[in-house]
């Protein structure tokens, strides 16, 4: 794990330089495992806003400064409310590390309701499955915690309000940045990768190595991507260098790892539930269709019975007739002995008539189910590649289509749809990453002479190339065509394929499909380019 005690040491130094005496303006919790402190920091006699992201996720605990925009849930967690009560408008007085462990303590000077000073500790345990965020008083009496640990035979520590916070028992190893040491085995907080790099070095060499100037990198080692505060092995391939550890962590965890927010997980559950219901309905419709196709035989059997009806008497349970549909072979027609001959005949034709109606209606319903399945599976794909901010647009779409409840008590929800774009040559290229954005790009931002791109027969982004001054004679350059086609392929289900066919045509030939839940369109007069997504 690259986030070892030594990395935390460098990170705490960076955060301390950035955030000492900054004021906590607001605290938000986009999901139960994450929190964001919105800070006001004084830099060169000017105040700047900075956001500190802290996560206690069991698979990716982390802390870093970020510019990412988060969408907050309608109802904050209880822990978030406690943090707001105690920490908002407080000052960060110090940020320190416990020994060389993966544990950070933020000392905060807050105010009581009577305007007295109140010293608090926000303790951040970045310890994998044992990660936690804990708020304590100055004397380490716990106020609240993100994850509470009640008394049990498996818990060696008690994490509950009013309990005393106890640091985890130390392994009695030494802090390489503070203590004197002789060998590598004495040191605390070194990852396996770092131990391998320091093996066979003297104590002086180890100390010099650990105190080198940081040079944050994401690197490739074999098939695995990793990161550290500086290059560890000269043989590793450096993918990207960064000015700060926060920018490194943001890139690695947000862009490379793409951690799912709780809102993404919630929407995925809704969509998967709808898909499961639709698949069940589809299976039932297919069974109805098979049964109806089989019941069509009653029309021919009814005609055979009608031809031989003079032979039937009330009380007969069957009649043997020659089947002139199949070489006059003898077949047995079952009858209801409680019905007269005419009623038996009507029963046969009624079954055939019902089968015909079922075929028509079931086929119609099956088409609707398949359309809905395509719609929900497309939304699932869009959720995978959307940011935390864009997830709200998908939520709005599901609310407007009746699949989610409107929590605003009947009021129409409105959000500003943000469209991504590039400028290539003298053209602006807009592209959507979900249905609302696609509709905005295709039907609101476009003019009649603009060009529209989309991967052929595959769900994906609507890409619009706005030509200068809506020039009807403007000819797209190969550079613009390939760039726009690349975006369309990149943000589609064919993103990992090669030689992806991308259709493009003028926007005047693109038509919206009436009453469509998504952003599907029809188009004509298209040309096709094959592209390898990059």
CB environment 355-386: b (16+ within 10 A), e (fewer):
beebbeebeebbeebeebbebbebbbbbbeeb
Q: How many CA atoms lie within 13 A of 162 on its CB side?
A: 0
Task: Tell me how far apart the alpha carbons of residues 160 and 134 are, in angstroms, rounded to a whole number.
Answer: 9
* Token duo for residue 144: 């609240």
Q: How many CA atoms lie within 13 A of 236 on its CB side?
A: 20
Class of the CATH domain delimited by 5-145: mainly beta
DSSP string, 334-379: E--TTS-HHHHHHHHHHHHHHHHHHHHHHHHHHHHHHHHHHHHHHH
> How many degrees, rounded to 5, is the angle at CA 63 between CA 234 and CA 149?
120
* Token duo for residue 462: 């609507």
| Residue count of the chain | 534
* Token duo for residue 135: 């708020």
Q: Is the pTM of this model over 0.75?
A: no
Beta strands 463-466 and 500-506, pairing class = unpaired
Task: Tell me how far apart the alpha carbons of residues 267 and 73 are, in angstroms, rounded to a whole number.
Answer: 13
pLDDT (0 to 100) of residue 261: 59
* Token duo for residue 161: 């309000």
Q: Are 188 and 5 in contact (CB under 8 A)?
A: yes
Q: Are 209 and 10 in contact (CB under 8 A)?
A: no
Per-residue pLDDT of the chain (534 residues; tens, 9 = 90+): 478 999 999 999 999 999 999 999 999 988 888 999 999 998 888 889 999 999 998 878 999 999 887 777 767 889 999 999 999 999 999 999 999 999 999 999 999 888 899 999 999 999 888 899 999 999 999 999 999 988 876 667 899 999 999 988 767 789 999 999 988 989 999 998 899 999 989 999 999 999 999 999 999 887 788 899 999 987 888 999 999 999 999 888 865 554 455 677 778 888 899 999 999 999 999 999 999 999 999 999 999 999 999 999 999 999 999 999 888 999 999 999 999 999 999 999 999 999 999 999 999 999 999 989 989 988 888 887 777 667 778 888 888 888 877 765 555 556 778 899 999 998 999 999 999 999 999 999 999 999 999 999 999 999 999 999 888 889 999 999 999 999 999 999 898 888 999 999 999 999 999 888 888 999 999 999 999 988
What are the domain boundaries of the chain?
Answer: 5-145, 184-256, 263-385, 420-531
The secondary structure of residue 151, as a DSSP letter, is S
DSSP string, 471-486: -TT----HHHHHHHHH
pLDDT (0 to 100) of residue 435: 92
Q: Are 394 and 375 in contact (CB under 8 A)?
A: no
Contacts of 248 (CB under 8 A, 6+ apart): 216, 217, 218, 227, 242
Task: Tell me how far apart the alpha carbons of residues 223 and 182 are, in angstroms, rounded to a whole number.
Answer: 35
Q: Which helix (H) or strand (E) holds 94?
A: strand 91-97
Residue 451's SS3 state is: strand
């Amino acid at each position: 794990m690259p986030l070892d005690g030594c990395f935390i040491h460098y990170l705490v130094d960076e955060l301390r330089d950035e955030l000492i005496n900054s004021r906590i303006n607001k605290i938000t919790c986009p999901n139960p495992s994450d929190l964001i402190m919105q800070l006001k920091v004084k830099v060169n006699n000017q105040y700047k806003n900075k956001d500190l992201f802290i996560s206690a996720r069991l698979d990716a605990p982390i802390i870093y400064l970020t510019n990412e925009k988060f969408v907050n849930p309608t109802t904050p967690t209880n822990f978030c409310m406690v943090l707001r009560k105690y920490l908002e408008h407080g000052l960060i007085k110090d940020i320190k590390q416990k020994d060389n462990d993966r544990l950070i303590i933020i000392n905060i000077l807050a105010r009581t309701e009577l305007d007295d000073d109140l010293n608090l500790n926000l303790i951040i345990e970045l310890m994998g499955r044992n990660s936690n965020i804990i708020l304590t008083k100055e004397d380490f009496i716990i106020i609240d915690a993100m994850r509470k640990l009640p008394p049990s035979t498996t818990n060696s520590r008690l994490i509950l309000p009013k309990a005393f916070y106890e640091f985890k028992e130390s392994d009695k190893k030494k802090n390489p940045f503070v203590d004197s040491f002789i060998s590598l085995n004495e040191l605390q907080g070194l990852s396996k990768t770092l131990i391998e790099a320091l093996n066979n070095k003297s104590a002086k060499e180890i100390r010099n190595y650990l105190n080198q100037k940081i040079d944050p990198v994401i690197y490739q080692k074999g098939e695995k991507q990793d990161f550290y505060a500086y290059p560890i092995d000269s043989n590793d391939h450096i993918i990207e260098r960064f000015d700060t550890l926060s920018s490194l962590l943001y890139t690695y965890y947000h862009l490379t790892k793409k951690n799912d927010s709780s809102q993404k997980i919630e929407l995925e559950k809704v969509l998967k539930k709808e898909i499961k219901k639709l698949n069940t309905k589809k299976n039932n419709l297919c069974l109805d269709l098979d049964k109806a196709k089989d019941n069509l035989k009653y029309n021919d059997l009814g005609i055979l019975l009608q031809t031989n009806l003079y032979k039937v008497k009330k009380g007969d349970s069957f009649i043997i007739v020659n089947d002139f549909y199949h070489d006059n072979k003898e077949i047995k027609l079952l009858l209801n002995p409680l019905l007269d001959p005419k009623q038996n005949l009507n029963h046969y034709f009624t079954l055939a008539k019902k089968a015909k109606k079922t075929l028509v209606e079931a086929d119609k319903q099956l088409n609707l189910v398949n359309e809905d399945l395509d719609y929900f599976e497309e939304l699932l794909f869009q959720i995978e590649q959307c940011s935390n901010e864009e997830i709200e647009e998908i939520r709005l779409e599901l609310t407007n289509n009746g699949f989610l409840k409107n929590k605003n008590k009947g009021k129409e929800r409105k959000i500003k749809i943000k469209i991504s774009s590039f400028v290539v040559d003298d053209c602006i290229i807009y592209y959507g990453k979900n249905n609302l954005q696609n509709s905005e790009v295709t039907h609101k931002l476009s003019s009649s002479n603009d060009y529209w791109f989309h991967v052929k027969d595959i769900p994906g982004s609507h890409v619009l190339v706005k030509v200068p001054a809506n020039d009807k004679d403007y000819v797209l350059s190969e550079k613009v065509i390939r760039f726009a086609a690349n975006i369309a392929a990149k943000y589609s289900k064919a993103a990992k394929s090669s030689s992806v066919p991308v259709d493009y045509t003028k926007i005047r030939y693109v038509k919206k499909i009436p009453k469509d839940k998504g952003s599907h369109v029809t188009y004509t007069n298209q040309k096709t380019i094959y592209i390898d997504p990059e």
